[in-house]
Amino acid sequence: MKRKIYIRFLTVFISLLVLLVFSAGCGTVTDSKGSTPAEPTETDSKATAADTDSGAPVPIRWVRTGNEQDPKKDRILLELQKRMNIELEIVSIPWDQYPNKLNIMMASGEQLDMANCDPGKTLIEWARNDIILSYDEYLKDGKYPYVSSVVNSEAYKGLKIDGKAYFKPLGLCPQQWGYLIRQDWLDNLGLDIPTNIDEFYEVIRAFTYDDPDKNNKQDTYGLYVRAGGDADPTELQTFSYILRAYAINAGAGNWVELPNGTVTRYEVSDAAKEGARFIAKAIKEGLINKDWLSLKRDSAQGPESDDFAAGKYGIAPTSIPDVFNQKIMSVNSDAILAFLPPLNGENDVPPNSGNNGGYWWGNIIPKTCRNPEKVIELLDYSLTAEGRELTEYGIEGIHFTDYSDDGSGGRIYRINKAECDKDWDTQKNGYLYPLAWGGFNYYEYAYIPIVEHNFDYDEAFKNVKAWQPEDMAKGQFASWQIMNTSYSIPSPLMNVFDDNLLGDEQKLLSIFAEGWLKSVVDIDNFDRQWNEMVEKWMNAGGKEIIDYGNNYYKENK
């Protein structure tokens, strides 16, 4: 069960610092669930956007994190507001403050029309306490067929609460993150791309101490981490690469199938312990940047890509390889990058890239929403080809000139870089509009063909079309998402959200994160610190969760 819970426990963090992804939809169509979607279909979506009610713009106050775009100045958001007849206000909260501040806003009844959040215990409580609205009552008679196809899909059925849809997931390829490695550094050192954890250790040690760039300075690291303020260190992509060599889809909140056919939570598994032990060894030996606990990660990987281009480290996790490649080539045209596949794991664990359940984050509608139907209309539009194009590449004739077919039904966009530079930080985000991810959708450089598959989201999700800028489509990493997804393996009980499987999420995550970090920064006392964490976690309801999980797994296998 994948739950990316971005909860920042600052007190825990401070104490630890002390320790250190064409069929036209004309007329009436029947969707995969047997209902008849109302107009419009894809062929008349432009008319719908233009013909939206001509009265005063409907205000929509949207709270999220990681936003840098101003609805009053950004030409793409201005165009979106014009097409939808809305007045958009985006309340942006820093990543490390978001869960706590959103909780306060929701609890206080502050006026919000839309919010982004994770599923889980808090979401269930909001639904049962009538703090958020169900989508279901607004999707009757085939209204908003795109949103309906998402929330009623087979893929996300486990996200419903008491049989109702309160959460619209942001569709995401099962694994959009992958890893780049400096092939030129490997060549300089006479090493090959690592295939198992022992070879990986040899590479990161050599990248740290054997002068891989041949500048006669000891100024490089094997691994580079920015963990400042993160509640769950196992979700950090650099660490995840290592941890997945010990367990499929390793990470807090996930489940691990044991050799005897039972399951346990990752947090207290032997796989988690041995993965953490490897990281502890790497920290003690100086193979990771010493300031990893104080540096905060950036949502667009600005500092990460800058430091990679500067040659500070040789292995980079990213979902935007074109940006990393562009930056490093501008500094060092002799650099050679390669795709680093997942490792052949220990104890017959297959190479795996992790699996996010096909989504990350989702849209909810607070009870304070002034016009729920307008919010859903906006979300519905964002899932059309026209809406996706606008929120991914901007305005035709301004941000891009045109596009061509890539030969497999996808698109290759010809970008007007000078105009994009005016509306967003392209050095940081590349030529993909920042709100293309984590806003209305998430599947970067792609379009989910929902109408083309008769509003069968599950089928559409299997046939995602690549929408890429010209430079990326011709580049070395054009098939980045395909490469990573080919290694994606789900863990047991994924996308199952049951109170008895969740327990006190915040408390359990806090116990795990604190114990995990204490263990990896103090390898001399690793076993004692780890065992204390496991005992504490089990006594905080963990044992009951595992018992319930095994019964559930056996009955629903």
**pLDDT average per 10 residues of sequence, the chain (557 residues):** 36 35 32 38 38 78 90 96 97 88 96 94 93 96 94 90 94 83 98 98 98 95 83 85 95 94 97 97 96 80 89 92 89 94 95 84 96 98 95 96 92 96 88 79 84 94 87 80 82 85 91 96 96 98 97 88
Verify that 67 and 114 share a domain, yes or no: yes
Residue with token string 């008769």: 454
Let me know if residue 481 belongs to a domain: no
Residues 163 and 186 in one domain: no
Shared domain check, 149 and 190:
no
Tell me if 442 is assigned to some domain: no
Whether 186 and 333 map to the same domain: the answer is: yes
The answer on 205 and 225 residing in a single domain is yes
Q: Is residue 236 part of a domain?
A: yes
Based on the domain organization, do 343 and 375 belong to the same domain? no
Residues 328, 391 within the same domain: no
Residue 430 is predicted with a pLDDT of 82
Domain range spanning residue 278? 178-355+510-556
Q: Is residue 208 part of a domain?
A: yes
Contact of 21 with 173, CB cutoff 8 Å: yes
pLDDT value of residue 45: 37
Residue 544: what are its φ and ψ, rounded to 5°?
A: -65, -35
Q: Report yes or no: 222 and 207 within 8 Å, Cβ to Cβ.
A: yes
Question: How many domains, in total, are found in the chain?
Answer: 2
Please state the length of the chain: 557
Q: Compute CA 156 distance to the chain's CA centroid, rounded to the nearest angstrom.
A: 16
Contact assessment for residue 189 and residue 210, using Cβ atoms and an 8 Å cutoff: yes
* Span 163-216, pLDDT tens digits: 999 999 998 877 778 999 999 999 999 999 999 999 999 999 999 999 999 999
Among the listed residues 439, 445, 398, the one whose alpha carbon sits nearest the alpha carbon of residue 420: 398
Instruction: Out of 396, 416, 446, pick the residue that ends a domain.
Output: 396
End-to-end CA distance of the chain: 14
Answer whether residue 455 is part of any domain. Answer: no
Residue 291, domain member (yes or no): yes
End residue of a domain, out of 347, 380, 396: 396
Domain CATH for 304: 3.40.190.10
**Do 130 and 65 lie in a common domain?**
yes
The verdict on 145 and 205 lying in the same domain is no
